[in-house]
Amino acid sequence: MNFLTWYQPHGTIHEHVPEHTLILKIKQPERLNKEKILDTIGFDKSWVTIERK
């Protein structure tokens, strides 16, 4: 039987994993380009008002 290990700030958790199970691996996504996103949604500076008090 396999074990799944979770590293947590408060301690490590070990769980039994069935022999036939679904394993998902998620890759770190690419960093988003802020300007490209804003351009894609048609952002206009008039949407935002900045005030200093």
pLDDT value for 37? 95
Return the domain boundaries, the chain.
Answer: 25-53
1-52, pLDDT tens digit by residue? 576 676 677 777 777 778 888 888 999 999 999 999 999 999 999 999 999 9
Which DSSP string corresponds to the chain?
-EEEEEEETTEEEEEEE-SS------PPPPPP-HHHHHHHTT--GGG------
C-beta of residue 4 within 8 angstroms of C-beta of residue 21: no
16-26, pLDDT tens digit by residue? 778 888 888 99
pLDDT value for 1? 56
